[in-house]
Chain A
């Protein structure tokens, strides 16, 4: 089901852990799938000097987190901001369609950590960042019907391609 690269990162995840008193923290969670990811960064000379992650989620979510930290490490903040969810999925040699939403977590969490660092640096934020419980589907990535793989518009609960009600029968 998964590519070799995904399995490699799942089995040997890079940069797992917590950075105590990190310069920036980003956390995203996806209530739809139950995935959750936290990214910690330390910044030196406006570069990502150190990065660590923690993830609650499936094999894809863990692999996404792991490869993302490798991609971001050593990059300037501006470069790191350019890392897209698509880049992450491509670096993993692709993900099954139904797992693409997991890759959406990765870049979102990184961008949030950078934003958190910048706000603290600029004195805009004094307290801990507000925890973002809901993973908003505002990332512009596409969603797919789990039954027929057709594209489903964001927030839609009915797949018009296979006429499937995506909400469980209650």
Chain B
């Protein structure tokens, strides 16, 4: 098989070998149900606890039981928002969020709006940063939750979560952060951040997809999404996906040890790409904050062309990236994130998201740039917008 250069690690990561082995071992030998009162059950319960401790260490939870395993980052976000809204309905019906949240947050809130909850969404600046003052202003008597993402999945900007969480705490409002693209990628300390709830997933740090986690600070009032048994400290019923959870635990332990190395390597590739880009294409925007950002993500809006076309052309050369064009999204709507930071609709259409991973090299970056240059030339020669601009120039 030809080598595929994966520059779309946000979509998929290859499982680390030690993660694969640990998961196979569970499937083969440790197939018990952690709730059972016998040896098979005990063995499974021990593996579950071991994974919970590793994951708790990764996010610096004060107790492992504050980690609730879920099926995905999306489930964690749904659980945090809907679970808190329902459990605290007597306190109020108002939730504060930002304009650039992931759809998991936006659509959870849209669902709650159908149930007469009210939502205030604060704007962001051109870098995608939330002004904590705007959050403070938005909080009222009826506010029961503030939910602001830790890092943005389209532009990589990292929010001043500590400041925002402190405001929420002072106003006695629960605070949730969607940290799906941060946990295991950059250092996360739930105690330092001062959050009550934090959503994350296993796949961004080389664990399996289909497993997520929700940090719930002890004492936080929240309802389960799934009612049934007493699994996950009564917060999430259903027999555990033990193989997935064990895989997540091993990936978490590895991430703790390798985080600095991984971040340095990703930053080098990111800088290389940003430095070299003007030698290959012109007329583009780099999106997101230049320093308050994820180390492994580059978001670039290429003018006059559309992202899905670029993705398909790169794919022809075995290079995988992601796009945020409306055409590729399936929803036929321009990215709300890119519009929120002030990108023109047409420019948002030409947006690529490149995310580096542990196996990427500088050669990968250079190969990407060469192929990108060709694709951009071809598509611009085909673009009426480019022709019009050339005629005006």
Given contacts A10-B312, A36-B384, A38-B384, contact A58 B328 (CB under 8 A): yes
Chain A nearest CB from B307 CB (Å) reads 8
Q: Which residues of A are found within 8 Å of B384, using beta-carbon distances?
A: 27, 36-38, 54-56
Q: Which residues of B are found within 8 Å of A58, using beta-carbon distances?
A: 306, 308-309, 325, 327-328
CB–CB B332/A33 < 8 A: yes
Given contacts A13-B382, A31-B345, A34-B334, contact A56 B305 (CB under 8 A): yes
Q: Which residues of B are found within 8 Å of A54, using beta-carbon distances?
A: 382-384, 387
Partner of B327, one of A10, A27, A57, A169: A57
Given contacts A62-B382, A101-B332, A169-B119, contact A11 B110 (CB under 8 A): no
| Number of interchain pairs (Cβ within 8 Å) | 87
Interface size on B, residues (CB 8 A): 37
Q: Which residues of B are found within 8 Å of A170, using beta-carbon distances?
A: 99, 121
Give A54 to B381 CA distance when docked, in angstroms: 8
Give A165 to B312 CA distance when docked, in angstroms: 30
Give A60 to B387 CA distance when docked, in angstroms: 21
B385 at interface, CB cutoff 8 A? yes
| CB nearest neighbor in B for A65 | B382
Chain B nearest CB from A128 CB (Å) reads 12
Main secondary structure of the interface of A (DSSP, over half): mixed
Partner of B309, one of A62, A98, A169: A62
Residues of B343-382 whose CB lies within 8 A of A: 345-346, 348-349, 381-382
Given contacts A56-B304, A168-B336, A170-B121, contact A33 B326 (CB under 8 A): yes
CB–CB B349/A34 < 8 A: yes
Chain B nearest CB from A165 CB (Å) reads 6
| CB nearest neighbor in A for B391 | A18
B22 at interface, CB cutoff 8 A? no
CB–CB A59/B312 < 8 A: yes
CB–CB A34/B345 < 8 A: yes
Q: Which residues of A are found within 8 Å of B382, using beta-carbon distances?
A: 13, 16, 54-55, 62
CB–CB A35/B330 < 8 A: no
Q: Which residues of B are found within 8 Å of A168, using beta-carbon distances?
A: 106, 333, 336
A61 at interface, CB cutoff 8 A? yes
For the complex with contacts A10-B312, A57-B306, 6 further pairs of A-B residues with Cβ separation under 8 Å are: A7-B312, A10-B309, A56-B385, A146-B330, A169-B110, A170-B121
The 7 closest A-B pairs by CB, nearest first: A58-B327, A58-B308, A54-B384, A34-B349, A38-B384, A56-B383, A146-B331
